[in-house]
Amino acid sequence: MVIKRRRRFKQTLSLEERLAQDTAQLREQAKVLPPGNAREQITRRITRNEAASRLCEVLRSPGLQPSK
């Protein structure tokens, strides 16, 4: 029996920073693409990144922190 090992690596940037970088890069790509399927896919990914970023902000808000 062969056991597959997961590749693990430590992230150097926070999730929010990685989402922001990816979103900025995607916006630059979308600027040069003509309207069409590829541009729509990039636009959807930008929307998902922004939603994930907002969700991270909500989860880190003081209102959701456990009481001490």
- Rg (Cα) of the chain, in Å, rounded? 17
pLDDT digits (tens, 9 = 90+) for 26-67: 999 999 999 999 999 999 999 999 999 999 998 888 876 666
- Least Cα distance to 54 among 20, 25, 28, 24 occurs for 20
pTM, 2 dp = 0.77
Domain segments of the chain as ranges: 15-60
Distance CA 15, CA 29 (A): 21
Tell me the C-alpha distance between 53 and 60, whole Å: 11
Q: Are 42 and 26 in contact (CB under 8 A)?
A: yes
- Through-space distance between the first and last CA atoms of the chain, rounded to whole angstroms: 47
